[in-house]
């Protein structure tokens, strides 16, 4: 997924947005390791030293020079360090485009609360990796950004499509690849808008894409869109769906 440029380098809701991924902290780590509220915003923890190190070290590099091992999660967990003995553990989920801070502590060899045995304990208990609530929160944040972006970008795309001969192609909300074609039928004083969409980053059409497409269609113009099998000038690409709506004189798009 591409992220809107306007968000890159900013803490938004529960994340810090980087160019190629976002940084997040699991609820367990927030609560138990950072003594913060599980639902806290990323901005409110930006002052913590480990979070400063997280942003500094993981904004451009997803991994580090050392891994925390052996763990049973089967995932690569990377050490994040700052100062003499402060340690964090990060997990890069490439499929989702997110780096999680999953644990924080201090490395004092032999101490009962030493960071590495602590990580091992969390791993054995199945509490090291992000859980369903963490990921659902991420999805909700992303859906919110998408909706906000669409309401701004859809009218701009419609304007550009009106000025374009043939089909106007664009990316909406960083996530949806869209093609817009406007046809004016003068004798009927009607305008038809046809829109095809698919995931911007490639990959199969999913339920999420369809939900995002619904927001796009209704942001272009509220009304009864009909699903169709092709664009005016071409067949649909695999993983693409198309919809059309006809507006007669007096109806506004």
Partner 1 sequence: MSATTSTRVVRVPENTHNEATRLAALRQVQTGEMLADAWREYMENHREEFAKDLEKTAKLLRDGTLEKLAEFTSRNADARAAKAVERLNSKRAASDASEPAGETKPARV
Binding site for partner 1 (CB under 8 A): 63, 65-76, 79, 93, 95-96, 116-117, 119-120, 123-124, 126, 129-136, 138-140, 143-144, 146-148, 151, 202-204, 207-208, 210-212, 214-215, 217-219, 222-225, 227, 229-230, 235-239, 241
Question: Are the CB atoms for 220 and 240 separated by under 8 Å?
Answer: no
What are the residues facing 226 on neighbouring strands? Answer: 244
CB of 186 to partner 1, least distance (A): 27
Q: d(Cα 197, Cα 212) in Å, to the nearest integer?
A: 9
Pull the structure tokens for residue 187: 């004798």
Comparing CB distances to partner 1, the nearer of 158 and 217 is 217
DSSP state for residue 215 in the 8-state scheme: H
CB of 241 to partner 1, least distance (A): 8
CB of 48 to partner 1, least distance (A): 21
Comparing CB distances to partner 1, the nearer of 47 and 70 is 70
CB of 125 to partner 1, least distance (A): 10
* Number of neighbours of residue 42 by Cβ within 10 angstroms: 23
Pull the structure tokens for residue 117: 């045995």
| Cis bond before residue 70 (omega within 30° of 0) | yes
Comparing CB distances to partner 1, the nearer of 47 and 202 is 202
Cα-only R_g, the chain: 23
Comparing CB distances to partner 1, the nearer of 183 and 237 is 237
């Amino acid at each position: 997924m591409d992220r809107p440029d306007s968000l890159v380098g900013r803490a938004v809701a529960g994340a810090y947005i980087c160019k190629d991924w976002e940084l997040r902290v699991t609820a367990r780590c927030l609560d138990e390791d950072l003594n913060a509220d599980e639902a806290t915003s990323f901005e409110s923890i930006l002052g913590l030293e480990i979070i400063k190190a997280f942003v500094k070290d993981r904004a451009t590099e997803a991994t580090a020079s050392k891994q925390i091992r052996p763990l049973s999660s089967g995932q690569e967990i990377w050490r994040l360090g700052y100062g003499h003995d402060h340690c964090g553990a990060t997990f890069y989920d490439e499929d989702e485009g997110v780096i999680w801070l999953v644990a924080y502590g201090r490395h004092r060899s032999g101490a009962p609360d030493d960071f590495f045995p602590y990580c091992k304990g969390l791993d054995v208990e199945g509490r090291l990796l992000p859980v369903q609530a963490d990921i659902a929160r991420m999805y909700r944040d992303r859906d919110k950004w998408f909706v906000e972006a669409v309401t701004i970008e859809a009218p701009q795309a419609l304007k550009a499509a009106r000025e374009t001969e043939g089909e106007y192609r664009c990316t909406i909300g960083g996530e949806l690849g869209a093609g817009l074609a406007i046809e004016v039928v003068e004798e009927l004083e009607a305008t038809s808008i046809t829109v095809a969409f698919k995931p911007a980053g490639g990959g199969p059409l999913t339920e999420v894409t369809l939900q995002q497409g619904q927001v796009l269609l209704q942001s272009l113009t509220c009304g009864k869109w009909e699903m169709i099998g092709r664009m005016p000038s071409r067949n649909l690409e695999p993983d693409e769906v198309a919809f059309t709506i006809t507006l007669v004189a007096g109806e506004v798009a």
